[in-house]
Amino acid sequence: MSDATRDIEALIELMARLPGLGPRSARRAVLHLIKKRGQVMAPLARAMAEVATSARECAACGNIGTADLCDICRDPKRATGEICVVEDVADLWAMERGQAFRGRYHVLGGTLSALDAVGPEELRIPRLIARTRDENVREVILALNATVDGQTTAHYIAEALEGTGVSVTSLAQGVPIGGELDYLDDGTIQAALRARKSVQ
């Protein structure tokens, strides 16, 4: 096997590790890239290298950005006194696509899980509590997935904020049982946000 074949094989193996691509679709994708190496592959490699170098987690909310604080945390217009709590950056992106929420976010990075031994410290929950004090927060909106672990996490946060004067609400109408936010259409997310209800 020559260097050429080795390079291409290595590329296929790296591509096959991406979620949603198996070995066969990785081969197809790499072949497609090689055929369009000028128009698609070179720009994609550059975009990837650029993001790999610059991307980092926001120190406040856990969103992805290129500075210490993400775009949303740096934007004074987003200091509305509302924080929307999501499990994952993909959920934050889904909320932003819905364009219904103008406050800030807090990305937990998962849910509490007895099974996987994930406790509050692993999930940026202490930082969320601190933010509600430091950022003058009136309302925490829980936009967690409608799974058992998501709802356990919601209850934990609601209890932790009890008596602090911060109102805790959750997305209500529209989130199907067992459903995941990132699968919902934008309209459903907007409706769920409008119909949010108190969990305290």
Task: Report the nearest approach of Zn ion to the CB of residue 70 (Å).
Answer: 3
Residue 88 in the binding site for its own copies (CB under 8 A): yes
φ and ψ at residue 13, rounded to 5 degrees: -65, -40
Please, which of residues 117-146 interact with its own copies by CB under 8 A? none
Residue 61 in the binding site for Zn ion (CB under 5 A): yes
Residues in contact with its own copies, shown as a per-residue x/- string from 91 to 120 under the rule CB under 8 A: --x---------------------------
Residue 89 in the binding site for Zn ion (CB under 5 A): no
Residue 63 in the binding site for Zn ion (CB under 5 A): yes
| Closest CB to its own copies among residues 44, 148 | 44
17, interface contact from Zn ion, its own copies, none, CB < 5-8 Å by kind? its own copies
CA dist 61 and 82 (Å) reads: 13
Binding segment for its own copies (CB under 8 A), chosen from 31-39, 112-120, 135-143, 173-181, is 31-39
Pairing outcome for strands 104-107 and 82-86:
parallel
Contacts of 156 (CB under 8 A, 6+ apart): 112, 120, 125
73, interface contact from its own copies, Zn ion, none, CB < 5-8 Å by kind? Zn ion
- Per CB under 5 A, residues contacting Zn ion are 58, 60-61, 63, 70, 73
- Per CB under 8 A, residues contacting its own copies are 1-5, 7-8, 10-11, 14-15, 17-21, 24-25, 27-34, 37-38, 40-55, 64-67, 70-71, 88-90, 93, 182-183
